[in-house]
Amino acid sequence: MCHRQLQFLIFVLSSLLLAVPLLSQAVDRYGCTHRTGRPAIVSINSSAYNGTTRFSVELNLVNISYCHAEFHGVGGMYFYVRLSSSLSKRLSVFSIGPEFGSAPLALVTTDNQTDYRAFATPSNKFYVKLFTRALSSSFSYYPDSIVLDVELVKTGACPAGWLYRDGLCYGAAHPNNSRATFTNAAVGCRYVRANLALGFVSSTADVLGLASTTTWPTGQDTWVGVADTSKGVFFLDSDSFYYGSSSSITFKGSSTYTCFGGNCRCVYFSAGSFYRNYCAQMLRYLCSSRPGGDAKFYNLSTLDKSLGIGDASFTFNYYWIIGLAVAAALTGIGFGIRYLWYRRAVANSRSGAPVAANYAMTADGAAQPVAPAPANSHCTAPPGSYPTQPAGSYGLGAYSPGIGANEPGAVSMEPKPPAYNRMPSDPPPAYDKA
C-alpha cells in the first residue's frame, strides 16, 4: 500500500510539471469595458479557435477606476481562469464572480495574489473586474493591469495539466504551484472547486506502470489533504489514511521531534515519505476534485467536527480568555476592598471614632488609648525650642570697630530669635537700636 501510493503521487506531480508548457499557450486576447452598467457579453463556444477553448483576457486601468468583462460559454461546460500576470499597485483589486451583479467568488490584491492564482466557475459564465480604491483625483497615479489565461472545460473532464485517475482529477491550482500555508492551500484548492489531494491511496496498477517512467522532483515538499488527530491519521474528508504498517506519521528527520509554537498536525509528502509539519509552513500543494469540480470542501475544522474532536486552538484560546477574565476580576476585587477600607478610615477620623492609630500597646499586651495632641500644639512650644543664632552671626548686628555701644549707628549685640508665626507678607522683624 505504501509503495503504491508513493508511486501514484510521483506520477501526479510529474504529470503536472510536464503540462506546464501547455498552459502558457493562449490563442486570442480580449479587452474590457470601461463604461458603467453591465458590460457587453462575449460568447465563447467549443468550436472556436481551431477547436481549442483557450483564450486570454486583459484588464487594465489607465486614468479610470475600473474595467470589467463578462463571458458566457456553451452548456455543459465551465471556466477555469488562471492569472498570467500580477497586480503592481497596492490599491488595485481583482474580482471574479459567476456573472455581473452576483457576489464575487474571490477578491485578489497584492497581499494574497501569491497564494490564490486560479479560479473555477460553477457554471458556463464568469464575470471579472479590475478596480482601484484610489481617490478619483489620483487615478492617473495608479495605472495597473492583469492578464488572465481562460480555459473552457467540459463538465466531465479535468482542466489542462490535471491528471484523471480513479474518478478524480489531480493537479496544482496554478502552473507555478506557489507555496502557501496548509489553511491557505485548502482555500486555494477550493477556489478551483477542489480539495487538498484526497483518495490517492486507491491507485490502480496501470498508474503504477506509468509512474515507473517518471521521478519526483528533488526537494518538492507538498501539502496533501491529510492531517493527524488524537484518533489517528485521516484524510480531510475523514477517510482513514494508513502509511506503511502504522497509522502514525512522524516529523521529518526525527520520530521524537516536538512541535513548538503552533499546530503541527498537517501532513506533507517529501522524497517518497509522508511527514507531519507546522501547519503555517509555506509549501507547495496538490489538489484533487471530481470532474467538473467538487460540491463539498474540507479543512481541519470540518475534519475535527466529523470525528467529534474539539478544536485544540479554540480550547487553548478559550482557557486564555477565561484566565484573563478571572485575573481581572480578582484585581478589581482587591482594589475595591482597599478603597472601602480607605473610605471607612476617613469616615472614622472625621466622626471621632477610635481607629487603630489612636491606640498603643502596653507592656502586658493590652491596647491603651493614646491621648490626642492638644489643639494648636504647634503654636505652644516652650521658649527656647526654636533655634538661635550665635552672637555676632547677624549681618546687621556684627561688631564694628570705631562705633561705641552708645553712639549713633550702633546696634545691640544681643541675638534676637525669629518671630513666631510670621507670615511671608509680614515686614521683616526690626532690631532694637541702642
DSSP labels, 202-233:
G--HHHHHHHTT--PPTT--EEEEEEEETTEE
Cell of 414: 544681643
Q: What is the pLDDT of residue 29?
A: 80
Q: Which helix (H) or strand (E) holds 337?
A: helix 312-351
Average pLDDT (117-146) is 89
At the fourth CATH level, the homologous superfamily of domain 27-153 is Spermadhesin, CUB domain (2.60.120.290)
Average pLDDT (193-208) is 65
Pick the closest to residue 208 from 11, 1, 14 (CA basis): 11
Q: Which helix (H) or strand (E) holds 189?
A: helix 182-191
Across 362-417, the runs of DSSP E, i.e. the strands, are 367-369
Residues carrying CATH 3.10.100.10, the chain? 163-307
| Residues 302-339 pLDDT 10s | 999 999 987 554 444 555 678 788 888 888 888 888 88
pLDDT band at 252 (very low <50, low <70, confident <90, very high): low
Pick the closest to residue 259 from 284, 289, 281, 239 (CA basis): 281
Other beta carbons within 10 Å of 349? 12
Q: What percent of the chain has pLDDT over 90?
A: 25
Handedness of CA 200, 205, 206, 210 (dihedral sign): positive
Handedness of CA 203, 207, 208, 211 (dihedral sign): negative
Q: What is the pLDDT of residue 297?
A: 95
Query: Lowest mean pLDDT: which of 24-33, 46-55, 265-274?
Result: 46-55
pLDDT band at 270 (very low <50, low <70, confident <90, very high): confident
Query: Lowest mean pLDDT: which of 123-127, 141-145, 153-157, 357-361?
Result: 357-361
Backbone angles phi, psi at 278, to 5 degrees: -60, 125
Cell of 45: 463556444
Cell of 153: 472545460
Cell of 309: 474532536
Q: What is the pLDDT of residue 208?
A: 36
Q: Which helix (H) or strand (E) holds 3?
A: helix 2-19
Q: Which residues are CB-contacts of 169 (< 8 A; sequence separation ≥ 6)?
A: 158, 159, 162, 163, 194, 288, 289, 290, 291
Q: Which residues pair with 119 in a beta bridge?
A: 81
Cell of 68: 470589467
Q: Which residues pair with 272 in a beta bridge?
A: none
Cell of 363: 507592656
Cell of 259: 512541535
What is the topology classification, in CATH, of domain 163-307?
Answer: Mannose-Binding Protein A; Chain A (3.10.100)
Distance, in Å, from the CA atom of 1 to the CA atom of 242, rounded to the nearest integer, reads: 8
Query: Lowest mean pLDDT: which of 126-135, 154-163, 353-362?
Result: 353-362
Residues carrying CATH 2.60.120.290, the chain? 27-153
Distance, in Å, from the CA atom of 237 to the CA atom of 296, rounded to the nearest integer, reads: 9
Q: What is the pLDDT of residue 339?
A: 83
Cβ atoms 242, 257 nearer than 8 A = no
Q: Which residues are CB-contacts of 409 (< 8 A; sequence separation ≥ 6)?
A: 403
Q: Which is it for strands 163-165 and 118-120: parallel, antiparallel or unpaired?
A: unpaired
Rounded to 5°, angle at Cα 240 from 237 and 242: 135
Average pLDDT (170-179) is 78
Pick the closest to residue 211 from 363, 4, 34, 431 (CA basis): 4
| Residues 4-34 pLDDT 10s | 555 555 555 554 454 444 444 445 788 888 8
Cβ atoms 196, 234 nearer than 8 A = no
Other beta carbons within 10 Å of 229? 15
pLDDT band at 289 (very low <50, low <70, confident <90, very high): very high
Q: Rounded to two decimals, what is the model's pTM?
A: 0.64
Q: What is the pLDDT of residue 24?
A: 44
pLDDT band at 48 (very low <50, low <70, confident <90, very high): very low
Better pLDDT: 87 or 360: 87
Handedness of CA 169, 173, 176, 178 (dihedral sign): negative
Q: What is the pLDDT of residue 145?
A: 93
| Mean pLDDT, the chain, integer | 74
Over its C-alpha atoms, the chain yields an Rg (Å, rounded) of 43
| Residues 67-112 pLDDT 10s | 999 999 988 899 999 999 999 999 999 999 999 999 999 999 999 9
Q: Which helix (H) or strand (E) holds 108?
A: strand 106-108
Average pLDDT (396-412) is 51
Q: Which residues are CB-contacts of 307 (< 8 A; sequence separation ≥ 6)?
A: 229, 231, 234, 238
